Chain A
């Protein structure tokens, strides 16, 4: 049979292109054009009205020398690092616990523990704002009852990141627990039986068997959690407004304030690109991994 020409093959697949068209039209309009435009904007000064002024690398220079940006970058890295080292191990332990073959009422436990993920960041933050309030909050009352010092959680530059981090852990553990749990379900029980017979305890089984077997899923959790924590906005917005000072402000909140409160559209775009570049550096590994696997799948 003769190789048909490219155009002929494309014409033959015209219906299929129609199936994909909605995505690609929206992609071009709301992702590709904005991304290029944002790049152009990052070299300009513009308030949204009147003409744009080309200022070269001034926005980037401003970004690197800005005390405030350094602070919000540090805050975001703090949220990211603490989330990674707490959420993934906690989720793994809880998923392993729920996966215990002898456990009764498993679906009740799952339903209850997943609840935090249903609530919005805003609603959860409002509840946490009250729990951590330095006057009426339950946290301080409990600390006092335990003989410990009450702390000004939300109004101290030293402590303001802690309630936000706890909020993030509380709401995200259920999600990662669920993902890891469904990964565990696919692990062959035979490995465990053999390990139990050989006298391995729970911790040994976890480190020697479970973690290697679900390493792909743990890696996926690492990447999605990284993306999620770099994009933090609603959490400080609703819990501390980023304050006091800038002590709990995230990068996206800094972008929002510069863009939509000060109308420095050029500078805000620069902040957006900085965010994308940091994230891209972290997630390029995962991207390569996915593309490779996709090729193996023989599409």
Chain B
């Protein structure tokens, strides 16, 4: 059993090192963000903080409209996640539980579009958004991605197991098809809704290209765009403390949400659909 012990210890060591590598940049970021201007950020000095201060966050707030940018991110991510979950589940329900003419063709079109990168058509999309008057309007970050092919695909996989007999019974009781969806299907797929909702939230919060294109004034930026445009030079030196404080502001809300939700079931959902 000696080989076994060596094996186990190797595995443990690898996992501990992985955890350190995964978490270190977060700790590093917080340390620098809390450093007062007098403390050195060079080399090994960047690994500790003597007199933590929140001053850097105040300075970030002077450079960018922090509260406003945070509200934009919050609105886009939460409204986006809620609507995405609803519309993806609705379409997923249709594909999972009904037969109708054109179903197979529509499904193939949907999967095919998953393979086309959205960057290919980013210029016409920009022109359309401008025509709609959605430049500098958060709608442009929410509406176009309300129902995504990949979201519908996963919802469909999840809803497939919902029993027909319950739907039949509900119809006999006089339920409309939408009532079946709203009152019976949705409450039964909450794990999928939570998983897909949290992933959509994170993706929208972290999105760079679209808000960079569609938001054309500082007050309309999302946090991610705002921190990507923080000044990299102040005279001859780089204001690392301020940059790290900006990064921290954009990261901390997500980390809090992550720890509240604890675990993402999204991967299980995904592999489930792969085996399907």
Contacts and interface: CB of A to CB of B under 8 A. Distances in A.
Interface of A: 6, 9-10, 13, 15-17, 19-20, 22-24, 26-27, 29-31, 33-35, 37-38, 41, 48, 93-94, 97-98, 100, 102-103, 107, 109-116, 118-124, 126-131, 133, 135-138, 140-141, 170, 174, 178-179, 181-183, 185-186, 201-202, 216-217, 220, 227, 230-231, 233-234, 237-238, 252, 255-256, 259-260, 265, 268-269, 272-273, 275-276, 279-280, 283-284, 286-287, 290-291, 293-295, 297, 299
A26 B101 contact: no
A118 to B, nearest CB: 5
A276 B117 contact: yes
A109 B243 contact: no
26 contacts: A10-B100, A22-B146, A23-B87, A35-B121, A38-B121, A41-B123, A103-B11, A107-B263, A127-B29, A128-B25, A130-B28, A137-B43, A138-B44, A141-B42, A141-B44, A170-B22, A186-B275, A202-B7, A233-B119, A234-B208, A259-B122, A272-B120, A273-B120, A275-B117, A287-B111, A287-B115
Contacts of B2: none
A149 to B, nearest CB: 15
B263 A122 contact: no
Interface residues of B, number: 101
Contact of B224 (A120, A265, A273): A120
Contact of B244 (A122, A127, A279): A127
Contact of B228 (A220, A231, A238, A293): A238
Nearest to B96: A299
B128 to A, nearest CB: 7
Contacts of A295: 104
Contacts of A138: 28, 43-44, 46-47
B143 interface: yes
A194 B117 CA distance: 45
The 4 closest A-B pairs by CB, nearest first: A34-B121, A120-B206, A141-B43, A13-B100
Given A170-B25, A174-B22, A291 B111 contact: yes
Interface of B: 3, 7-8, 11, 14-15, 18-19, 21-23, 25-26, 28-29, 32, 41-44, 46-47, 87-88, 90-91, 93-95, 98-101, 103-104, 106-113, 115-128, 143-144, 146-147, 149, 152, 176-178, 181, 202, 205-206, 208-209, 213, 224, 227-228, 230, 238, 240, 243-244, 246-248, 250-251, 254-255, 258-259, 262-264, 266-268, 270-271, 274-276
